[in-house]
């Protein structure tokens, strides 16, 4: 994917990630964090925060090393959620990389209470009394009661490029917005994989790196739910993770303007990830495709062969990916890579084996928390003789 040059110093790397799709279902498995619904009522304005204790806690629990390992380099906006602790008289809090303010997510974390080695999605008891609720909400059904946006920036050298800041979250930024007569129930629940017509390059034409963000070197990942109809039109959006400084609005505007390949599965939710990066040189593409051909083997149904190669020296533990294939603008198959060193081969069955030239699109999308290579869209043609 080509990088769009902004000035002689700044470069915009724009990525689109179509992740974690379950192509034939909408229900969340019990061991997965559910995707957030509309936010519940918050009482952030009724919580008094000891800012000195808060900053000391942030520097202790969210070190530059942990931010790099979990979110990668750049300036990030993520979230601190304060909620009820059923087993104590004090509050508790979690760090979330996405906007997740519904009760199901909060109680799932309360019940599990297991650390995965990351500071995110782990329940911390507020024994230090950082947060104090100044209102009686005993009659409220809300479990997550306060939400704050945290901002922090660090580069690959572990140097702080943006100091800690926090502010109450403006929940209106994260509301689902539809452009027509649609409701959330019209769309399948879990994000699935669909590919933009024209790939990253087409989306790159629609987005502008905001001047404010460019001046202070803001970078980081934005995640958006795009609500896409059967014909591939984006008819609604919802911000899941933002970084502020005008980048969220730029990403939302860009998503509205693109079109996806039509889908036989109906209306879908698609997760889009935008990486705003200020760099002096291009970063490696990571995983890519080098071979795609129609090659039917006698007696077998599989007639399309292609490969995925690790051309960017991506560490094997960071190669977890979702591979989707479209042929002649029709979805043909999806595959998962859990771990790959140099190359992995794939076969798929394609029914449209008529003679002549055909177009294919392969989307290689990161699907792991520790994956930092940019998604790659490979397009080409093959011949059936």
Please report, for the chain, the start and end positions of each structural domain, with discontinuous segments joined by +.
Answer: 4-24+175-276, 44-172, 287-384
Report d(CA 1, CA 160) in Å as an integer. Answer: 29
Sequence-distant contacts of 366-369: CB under 8 A, at least 24 apart: 366/17, 366/19, 366/286, 366/320, 366/321, 367/19, 367/20, 367/320, 367/321, 367/322, 367/336, 368/318, 368/320, 368/321, 369/70, 369/118
Strand (E) or helix (H) holding 250: helix 247-257
Q: Residue 234: what pLDDT?
A: 93
Using DSSP's 3-state secondary structure scheme, residue 171 falls into: helix
Sequence-distant contacts of 159-165: CB under 8 A, at least 24 apart: 159/64, 160/64, 161/75, 161/217, 162/75, 162/216, 162/218, 164/55, 164/58, 164/59
Q: Residue 345: what pLDDT?
A: 92
Report d(CA 381, CA 385) in Å as an integer. Answer: 13
Strand (E) or helix (H) holding 344: strand 343-348
pTM: 0.59
Average pLDDT over all residues of the chain: 75
Report d(CA 126, CA 83) in Å as an integer. Answer: 10
- pLDDT tens figures, 133-188: 888 877 766 677 888 988 888 877 888 888 899 899 887 888 889 998 888 888 87
**Which fold is adopted by the domain 287-384?**
Immunoglobulin-like (2.60.40)
Q: Residue 314: what pLDDT?
A: 76
Confidence band for 281, pLDDT divided at 50, 70 and 90: very low
CATH of domain 4-24+175-276: 3.30.2420.10
Report d(CA 331, CA 359) in Å as an integer. Answer: 12
Confidence band for 236, pLDDT divided at 50, 70 and 90: very high
By DSSP bridging, strand 304-310 and strand 287-288 are antiparallel
Average the pLDDT over 81-92 and give the result: 78
Q: What are the residues whose beta carbons fall under 8 Å from the beta carbon of 347, sequence distance 6 or more?
A: 302, 303, 304, 305
Structure tokens at 233: 């039109």
**Ranges 27-36, 118-127, 135-144: which has the least confidence:** 27-36
Report d(CA 358, CA 369) in Å as an integer. Answer: 35
Cα–Cα nearest to 278, from 10, 75, 7? 10
Q: Residue 79: what pLDDT?
A: 87
- pLDDT tens figures, 87-113: 667 788 988 877 655 555 565 665 555
Q: Residue 99: what pLDDT?
A: 67
Q: Which residue has the higher pLDDT, 193 or 46?
A: 46
Strand (E) or helix (H) holding 107: helix 103-112
Torsion of CA 287, 11, 74, 37, to 10 degrees: -70
Cβ count within 10 A of residue 27 = 10
Cβ count within 10 A of residue 166 = 17
Q: Are 2 and 202 in contact (CB under 8 A)?
A: no
Size of the chain, expressed as the number of residues it contains: 385
Identify the top-confidence range among 2-6, 24-28, 45-49. Answer: 45-49
Q: Are 135 and 91 in contact (CB under 8 A)?
A: no
């Amino acid at each position: 994917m080509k990088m769009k040059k902004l000035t002689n110093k700044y470069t915009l790397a724009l990525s689109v990630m179509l992740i974690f799709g379950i192509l034939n279902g909408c229900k969340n498995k019990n061991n997965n964090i559910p995707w957030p619904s509309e936010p519940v009522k918050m009482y952030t304005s009724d919580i008094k925060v000891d800012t000195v204790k808060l900053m000391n806690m942030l520097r202790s629990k969210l070190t530059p090393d942990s931010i790099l390992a979990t979110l990668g380099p750049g300036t990030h906006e993520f979230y601190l959620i304060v909620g009820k602790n059923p087993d104590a008289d004090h509050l508790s809090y979690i760090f979330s990389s996405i906007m997740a303010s519904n009760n199901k997510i909060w109680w799932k974390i309360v019940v599990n209470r297991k650390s995965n080695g990351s500071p995110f999605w782990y329940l911390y008891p507020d024994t230090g009394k950082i947060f104090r609720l100044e209102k009686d909400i005993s009659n409220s059904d809300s479990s997550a009661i306060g939400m704050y946006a945290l901002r922090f920036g660090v580069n690959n050298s572990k140097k702080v490029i943006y100091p800690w800041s926090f502010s109450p979250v403006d929940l209106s930024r994260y509301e689902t917005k539809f452009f027509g007569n649609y409701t959330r129930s019209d769309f399948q629940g879990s994000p699935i994989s669909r590919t933009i017509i024209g790939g990253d390059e087409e989306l790159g034409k629609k987005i502008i790196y905001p001047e404010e963000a460019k001046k202070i070197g803001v970078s980081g990942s934005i995640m958006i739910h795009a609500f896409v109809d059967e014909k591939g039109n984006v008819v609604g959006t919802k911000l899941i993770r933002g970084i502020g400084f005008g980048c969220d609005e730029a990403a939302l505007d860009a998503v509205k303007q693109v079109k996806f390949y039509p889908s036989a599965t109906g209306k879908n939710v698609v997760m889009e990830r935008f990486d705003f990066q200020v760099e002096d040189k291009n970063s490696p593409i990571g995983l890519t495709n080098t071979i795609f051909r129609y090659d039917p083997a006698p007696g077998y149904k599989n007639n399309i062969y292609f490969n995925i190669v690790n051309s960017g020296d991506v560490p094997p533990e960071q190669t977890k990916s979702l591979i989707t294939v479209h042929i002649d603008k029709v979805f043909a198959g999806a595959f998962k890579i859990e771990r790959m060193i140099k190359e992995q081969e794939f076969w798929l069955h394609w029914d449209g084996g008529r003679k002549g030239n055909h177009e294919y699109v392969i989307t290689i999308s990161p699907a792991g928390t520790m994956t930092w290579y940019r998604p790659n869209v490979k397009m080409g043609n093959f011949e059936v003789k």
